[in-house]
A = this chain, B = another copy of it.
Amino acid sequence: MPNSTARSQKRPTISDVAKLAGVSKVTVSYVLNGHSVSARISPATQEKVSRAADELGYRPSVIARSMVTGRAETIGVVFQDPLYFAVRSDFIREVMHGVNLAAVSVGYDLLLHTKPVPNALVECSVLTDGRVDGVLILRNRDDETLRLLLEQGFPSVLFFSRSDHEHISFVDCDNYGGAVLATEHLVSLGHRQIGMVLGHHASTSSSERLAGYCDTLNRSSIEFDGRLVMRPTPGNEFQCIRNFIVEQKPTAIFCISDLYAIYTLMVANDLGLRVPEELSVVGFDSLESCERSNPPLTSVRQPVLEIARKATEILVSMARNEKVESRRVIFPTELDIRQSTAPPIR
């Protein structure tokens, strides 16, 4: 019958193993960490120690080890917003999958920081409290926290965003190029009234994508019209998109994300607008849901999984070398043409 009020069995410690094997704790540590060669432990002793450890089912306390080594074999992940998983999009799942893949392959665990922090200073000291060897930061832009971490020489990598700061490492996709691809596609189909739907917060990605959109219009001799760029208010996306379509009458819309593009498809359906005949829609990310939308969504593909994985790999290598070299990687984007885009009808 299990004891219901306390942990019944205590975990064996290194001392228990030492006692059973008839050696000192030090020897146990050397054997189990494979430093036996440098510390010259005889095969016989090694055998004794291993057997004792097995018998007791001994596992070193990660906490105790971290205390002395200063390493935790764990990396932290922080999001723009503590409730990032609330966003109804497959994006975050794919990000976590990439991070997880890389973490599994290098044997690092993942810590999701959830505790609210009042400011960057506190956040920085929370992140560097010893539980993680580095942090992956999913933010809209670099911020004070990132600079503080950098100052302390604490390994950190920004991903899905970027920074002008010389020493901040990041992994991102070619947002500008992706927006150019999307806009050129619409222009080449004959669209002139091309709207753009942005996200509700400013981010390096959204400004780059906006720049790609504007520059392409320019190069195509289409005059930029500020009214054709819309930023929905949070919680009111559908109404905003609806009003935008009704008032501005774009023949095509380039959306900042697949999520917003799918919202746009739903609004169009609601308004009785046929896609792509009466309205072309292009998304960004090209997540799997693009294939399941009605109609399947033309979208700019960024390699979400690869970005997440690369960022994690860079972070781990920074953590392992105990030095912070700034590294930055930009992945190319491609256009996945599906069935939500077509020439405008006259």
Binds B, one of A25-33, A108-116, A222-230, A233-241: A108-116
Give 16 A-B contacts (CB < 8 Å), ordered by A residue: A2-B150, A2-B324, A4-B167, A5-B322, A60-B129, A63-B63, A63-B130, A88-B90, A88-B288, A93-B93, A108-B114, A109-B115, A110-B111, A266-B292, A292-B293, A292-B294
Binds B, one of A118-126, A172-180, A273-281: A118-126
Binds B, one of A7-15, A201-209, A242-250: A7-15
Q: Considering the complex, which residues of chain A in the window 84-126 have a beta carbon less than 8 Å from any beta carbon of chain B? A: 85-86, 88, 90, 92-94, 96-97, 100-101, 103-104, 107-116, 121-122, 125-126
- CB contacts (< 8 Å) of A121 on chain B: these are 57
Chain A binding surface, main DSSP class = loop
Least Cβ–Cβ distance between A281 and chain B, in angstroms:
14
- Report yes or no: A104 in contact with B114, Cβ–Cβ below 8 A: yes
Whether A4 touches B323, Cβ cut-off 8 Å, given contacts A57-B125, A110-B112, A293-B292, is yes
Binds B, one of A43-51, A135-143, A151-159, A328-336: A151-159
A289 at the interface (CB under 8 A from B): yes
Alpha-carbon separation in the docked complex, A61 to B110 (Å): 18
- Report yes or no: B110 in contact with A6, Cβ–Cβ below 8 A: no
A128 at the interface (CB under 8 A from B): yes
Alpha-carbon separation in the docked complex, A151 to B111 (Å): 26
Of all chain B residues, the one with the shortest Cβ separation from A106 is B114
Alpha-carbon separation in the docked complex, A219 to B225 (Å): 65
- Report yes or no: B62 in contact with A129, Cβ–Cβ below 8 A: yes
A83 at the interface (CB under 8 A from B): yes
Copies of this chain, complex-wide, total 2
- Report yes or no: A122 in contact with B59, Cβ–Cβ below 8 A: yes
- CB contacts (< 8 Å) of A101 on chain B: these are 83, 86
- Checking B66, B112, B323 against A6 with a beta-carbon cut-off of 8 angstroms, the contacting residue is B323
Of all chain B residues, the one with the shortest Cβ separation from A107 is B115
Whether A7 touches B67, Cβ cut-off 8 Å, given contacts A100-B82, A109-B112, is no
Whether A109 touches B103, Cβ cut-off 8 Å, given contacts A5-B323, A63-B63, A90-B88, is no
- CB contacts (< 8 Å) of A107 on chain B: these are 114-115
- Report yes or no: B111 in contact with A97, Cβ–Cβ below 8 A: no
Least Cβ–Cβ distance between A129 and chain B, in angstroms:
5
Interface centre among A60, A153, A262, by most chain B C-beta atoms within 10 angstroms, is A153
A131 at the interface (CB under 8 A from B): yes
Whether A114 touches B109, Cβ cut-off 8 Å, given contacts A90-B93, A97-B86, is yes
A325 at the interface (CB under 8 A from B): yes
Least Cβ–Cβ distance between A195 and chain B, in angstroms:
21
Of all chain B residues, the one with the shortest Cβ separation from A154 is B7
A299 at the interface (CB under 8 A from B): no
- CB contacts (< 8 Å) of A345 on chain B: these are none
A64 at the interface (CB under 8 A from B): yes
- CB contacts (< 8 Å) of A6 on chain B: these are 153, 322-323
- Report yes or no: A63 in contact with B66, Cβ–Cβ below 8 A: yes
